[in-house]
Amino acid sequence: MAETGYAPFNRTVDKTNRVLREIEEAHGWARDHSYTALRAVLHALRDRLTVEESAQLAAQLPLLIRGVYFDGWRPSVVPVKVGRDEFLDRVRGDTAFYEGDTEILVKTVLQALRRHITDGEWEDVKAAMPKDLASVLP
């Protein structure tokens, strides 16, 4: 367990480390690649959602991951209407080090986050997506 001197911070560091470790283990990566993949998927998802839905999703994320999620957010320009291919292209562009199937990468990252998101909220997120993009979400 991380020791920051403040229990809520310790818990969020531990939860974040578990998410990153799950991504690392799925792809055999170092920590910096798993963080980059997490950030890329979070930002692509965040920008596709409405402000309200984005905030509802973020409320369920661990505090540290929530900070990554909102970093650089411009709520006045969302949602950005993209389909599956554009979504995957954005993630691919933000994870240039990754040479595999971007859809697998997205599913790995989102699956690592799923334990922190209620089924109801996850269904709301999927319902906010066009059908072709919703099929990418685990």
Give tens-digit pLDDT for 2-57: 787 888 899 999 999 999 999 999 999 988 999 999 999 999 999 999 999 999 99
Q: Is 94 inside any structural domain? A: yes
Q: Which domain holds residue 40?
A: 7-134
Quick one: pLDDT at residue 63? 95
Q: Is 35 inside any structural domain? A: yes
Q: Is 68 inside any structural domain? A: yes
Tens of pLDDT along 88-102? Answer: 999 999 999 999 999
Q: Is 71 inside any structural domain? A: yes
Q: Is 20 inside any structural domain? A: yes
pTM, 2 dp? 0.94
Token output for 17: 């480390």
CATH code assigned at 114: 1.10.490.110
Q: Is 1 inside any structural domain? A: no
Largest distance between two CA atoms of the chain: 45
